[in-house]
Structure 1
Amino acid sequence: MNKFFLILSQAFMTKLKSKAFIIITVILLLGVLGMTNMGRIMDLFGAGNDIKKIAVIDETGGVYDLFKASLKTIDEDVHLTKETDSSEEAMRKNLEKEKYDAYLIIEQDKEKIVKASYKAEAITDTDTMGTLQAALQGVKSNLAANQLKLAPEQLLLLNEPVQFDKEALSSHAKSAEELNQARGMVYILLFIIYFAVIFYANMIGMEVATEKSSRVMEILISSAPPLQHMFGKIIGVAMLGLAQMGLVLTVGYISLSQNYKNMKEGFFEFFGFGNMESSTIIYAIVFFLLGYLLYSTFAAFLGSLVSRIEDMQQMIMPMTFLIMIGFFISMYGLGNPSASFITITSYIPFFTPMIMFMRIGMLDIPTWEALTGIAVLVAAIIALGIFGARVYRGGVLMYGKSNSYKDIRKALQLTKNQ
């Protein structure tokens, strides 16, 4: 056991001190600080830049005032200037001189229906274009109401959105508001689980492949059994991942506490972190660890089959696809988490870490279903661990070009002959 803990600590400390790990940790911390200070950053860089100057050429002769009043009720940051004597050529020159951000030509067709043409150096500002279109739509509706001699109350009734109430009959089901909050929160946590699992599992595979390519593996397996070597690395990197995530979450929590008032609305409220349940965080950690153990065991024995680092990416590509498939199914499930397809795939071990967690976060499922998903994962980890250990034991002794899954049989045969 002393050798096992020595390998574990070596895997942990070597990666902890590596430049790549430090750089990635710093980038993660900067990302978290950026997200939790988003309001201040936007105020810092956006101050004075939110005002849009739009010139208007009103060829109808009477729509501009209505249009300006309509726009004011939608967005006061879009400022209009009426141009009466300017030609389009003059307007284009004004755009080049940045006197305006864009200009709008308002016309009427043969049926006296209002239409407009928006012209700018680039039509990438979809927010401003959408605002102008919405304001002009209001003007068009008012003019059409006048032609049809509709009273203001009748026009308001016509434009009023239909009432569409949503009610869950099950006492355990979440309300529409709770689902929206859970959806944003689970969306963020799924990304964390996905990238963490794929990153740390790949780290294990690359570490094993690197040791084999440098012939360090021959020294290591002569001093410690291959099984201790494999699981020592897996658990060591797991501790490294927890340390990194713990640091990032701690810094995020401290920064979030200082900016909570500024983030009560907008991003923070949209993603539902204001009503996050502690049980959801616990499940996220549990499924991250189990998902990591499953895929890292997979990556470790795959890494033992290759002798060159160049072959590693090709060897673990199917494993990467499995993680991606589970992630994409989870993303689909955010829109319909109760679908039978989602329920079935949540019990497939390679998909369980993300899909079962998504169901737990989105639905009020019975505890036994969550525990069943955990049990399925644990059983799969044990089975893959036993099989992977046998492959690993023979695989670390194999050298030469190896990028085929047929080599698993060779590795198992070497294990039997030991």
Structure 2
Amino acid sequence: MSNLKLIIKREFIARVRNKTFVVMTFLSPLIFVGMIGLITWLTTLNKDEIREIAIVDETGSFEPYFKSSKGISYIDYTNLPLNDAKDSVVIKDLYGLLYIPGNTSNKELEKSIQFYADEAPNIDILQQIEKIISEELTHQNFKKKGVDIAVIESSKAKVDIQIENFLGEKTSKISSYVKMFFGGLAGYLLLMFVVIYGNMVMRSVIEEKTSRIIEVIISSVKPVQLMIGKILGTTLAGVLQFFIWVIIGGVLLFIASFYLGIDVQPTTPGQIPQDELMEQSQLILQDVLNLPLISLVVLFLVYFIGGYFLYSSIYAAIGAAVDSETDSQQFMLPIIVPLMLAFYVGVFAVIENPHGTISTVFSMIPLTSPIVMLMRVPFGVDWWQILISIVILIASIWFMVMFAAKIYRIGILMYGKKPSYKEIFKWLKY
């Protein structure tokens, strides 16, 4: 046990004293917040841009309904011939030209309207134009058939379904996405932690193996202790780095938001009424408060530690089996595929049916359960499913550590030869 503590301490100090580790610890939050600020600034530039659209309405019926709004300005070119209007749009570098031909029936007009532009127009703008013309054509058709439009308008109904559970608590319509956000965030953090710090464990093993330091170390320490010590030491260094990222990133986001005038929050479309927006915000906040936050935090730690140990042992075994990072690429498939599969199953299957067969099965498989189960937890999972998943994960960690330790024990002393899968399986028999 004393040897294990020394290894953990040595690995932790070696990680935190590394120049790259120190630089990235303080530089990464700056880069992250800088990217958010840049994206926000670029988005603001796009919103401030005014798209000028010329209109040639030969019918004289539609142009009055095109009202300029934020980001779009409509200019009446109806008095100009079509070709002259095109030339003017090109010379003035306008966004586009909307041409509505005359002397056609409403049925023919539906398929004969043209939009001229150098580039394909924004789909939202195109849909807005289509909606305005469609509504006016519909009204004209009603008038021709003697239908009272006022009666129709007054008869229209807008259904707004209210959602609440059987305890009488209201929820928002995007409740599933709120739950998916928290579950997806937890799963994504685990995925990134495994990839970043698992690779760090592998590189540490390769460095010591190629420098022959490992031969001295294993003369007084068991290979299993050395492997576990490396995993734990790197984990502690990673947790420290992650904690520093959260603090620095939070402070920088606060400064960017309140002192530099950068809005890091997503903007809300202006067409939503203020009272409706407030009601939605309250419902979303209620959804967040109704989440099993304590269970999510506890299970995040359990699956975070369990998933990291499971994959780090594989990374350590790969590092022991090869002589360079280049040689390790052929063995990365068994690590990357389950991680990516788990994340995509969580994104596409869990939000669709969190209690379905696919979501349930993948939340039990140890290589995918840390991510998939974390994504399922916000939707409410039976305790016995969580218990079974954790038991399987713990058993798999023990099996994988023993499995990796055998490879580690032989691999750290093997030099100058690129091992194959067949040869690695032979090492398990030694």
Q: TM-score range by the shorter chain?
A: 0.7 to 0.9
- Residue 107 of structure 1: aligned partner: 101
Q: 1:398 aligns with which of 414, 418, 422?
A: 414
- Residue 56 of structure 2: aligned partner: 57
Q: Which moved more, 1:300-309 or 1:252-261?
A: 252-261
Q: Would the aligned equivalents of 2:321 and 2:414 in 1 still touch at CA under 8 Å? A: yes
Q: 1:84 aligns with which of 67, 78, 86?
A: 78
Aligned counterparts of 1:206 and 1:232: Cα–Cα separation in 2:
15
SS in 2 for 1:307: coil
Aligned counterparts of 2:294 and 2:31: Cα–Cα separation in 1:
23
User: Counterparts in 2 of 1:210-289, with a 5 A limit?
Assistant: 210-254=207-251, 263=265, 266=268, 275=289, 277-289=293-305
Q: 1:188 aligns with which of 185, 189, 209?
A: 185
Counterpart residue identity of residue 357, structure 2: S
- Residue 390 of structure 2: aligned partner: 374
Distance 1:348 1:51, change over 3 A: same
Post-superposition offset of 1:36 = 7.5
Post-superposition offset of 1:173 = 12
Aligned counterparts of 2:426 and 2:170: Cα–Cα separation in 1:
52
- Residue 338 of structure 1: aligned partner: 355
- Residue 349 of structure 1: aligned partner: 366
Counterpart residue identity of residue 244, structure 1: Q
Aligned counterparts of 1:368 and 1:170: Cα–Cα separation in 2:
23
Q: Would the aligned equivalents of 1:57 and 1:83 in 2 still touch at CA under 8 Å? A: yes
Post-superposition offset of 1:232 = 1.3
Counterpart residue identity of residue 346, structure 2: S
The question of 1:121 aligning with 2:138 is answered: no
Q: Would the aligned equivalents of 1:168 and 1:175 in 2 still touch at CA under 8 Å? A: no
Aligned counterparts of 1:118 and 1:44: Cα–Cα separation in 2:
26
Post-superposition offset of 1:351 = 0.8
Aligned counterparts of 1:7 and 1:331: Cα–Cα separation in 2:
39
Counterpart residue identity of residue 66, structure 1: Y
- Residue 205 of structure 1: aligned partner: 202
Q: Would the aligned equivalents of 2:309 and 2:397 in 1 still touch at CA under 8 Å? A: yes
Distance 1:152 1:324, change over 3 A: same
Q: Would the aligned equivalents of 1:349 and 1:376 in 2 still touch at CA under 8 Å? A: yes
Q: Percent identity?
A: 25
SS in 1 for 2:365: coil
Q: Which moved more, 1:169-178 or 1:85-94?
A: 169-178
Aligned counterparts of 1:234 and 1:159: Cα–Cα separation in 2:
65
Q: Would the aligned equivalents of 1:305 and 1:407 in 2 still touch at CA under 8 Å? A: no
Q: Which moved more, 1:145-154 or 1:321-330?
A: 145-154
The question of 1:4 aligning with 2:21 is answered: no
Q: Would the aligned equivalents of 2:322 and 2:419 in 1 still touch at CA under 8 Å? A: yes
Q: Which moved more, 1:329-338 or 1:122-131?
A: 122-131
Q: Would the aligned equivalents of 1:15 and 1:21 in 2 still touch at CA under 8 Å? A: yes
Aligned counterparts of 1:49 and 1:215: Cα–Cα separation in 2:
61
Q: Which moved more, 1:349-358 or 1:104-113?
A: 104-113
- Residue 365 of structure 1: aligned partner: 381
Post-superposition offset of 1:299 = 1.4
Post-superposition offset of 1:231 = 1.0
SS in 1 for 2:428: helix
Distance 1:240 1:67, change over 3 A: same
Aligned counterparts of 1:137 and 1:340: Cα–Cα separation in 2:
44
- Residue 29 of structure 1: aligned partner: 29
SS in 1 for 2:115: strand
Q: Give the TM-score normalised by structure 1.
A: 0.82
Q: Which moved more, 1:41-50 or 1:197-206?
A: 41-50
SS in 2 for 1:62: coil
Q: Give the TM-score normalised by structure 2.
A: 0.80
Counterpart residue identity of residue 101, structure 1: Y
User: Counterparts in 2 of 1:149-164, with a 5 A limit?
Assistant: 149-156=146-153, 160=157
Q: Which moved more, 1:368-377 or 1:350-359?
A: 368-377
| Structure 1 vs Structure 2 CA RMSD | 3.7
The question of 1:178 aligning with 2:175 is answered: yes
Post-superposition offset of 1:300 = 1.0
Post-superposition offset of 1:51 = 2.7
Post-superposition offset of 1:204 = 1.8
Q: Would the aligned equivalents of 2:143 and 2:149 in 1 still touch at CA under 8 Å? A: no
Q: Would the aligned equivalents of 1:58 and 1:84 in 2 still touch at CA under 8 Å? A: yes
Q: Would the aligned equivalents of 1:184 and 1:271 in 2 still touch at CA under 8 Å? A: no
Aligned counterparts of 2:326 and 2:214: Cα–Cα separation in 1:
17
Distance 1:131 1:393, change over 3 A: same
Aligned counterparts of 1:98 and 1:197: Cα–Cα separation in 2:
54
Aligned counterparts of 2:81 and 2:18: Cα–Cα separation in 1:
64
Counterpart residue identity of residue 237, structure 1: T
**Structure 2, unaligned stretches of length 5 or more?**
270-279
Counterpart residue identity of residue 405, structure 2: A
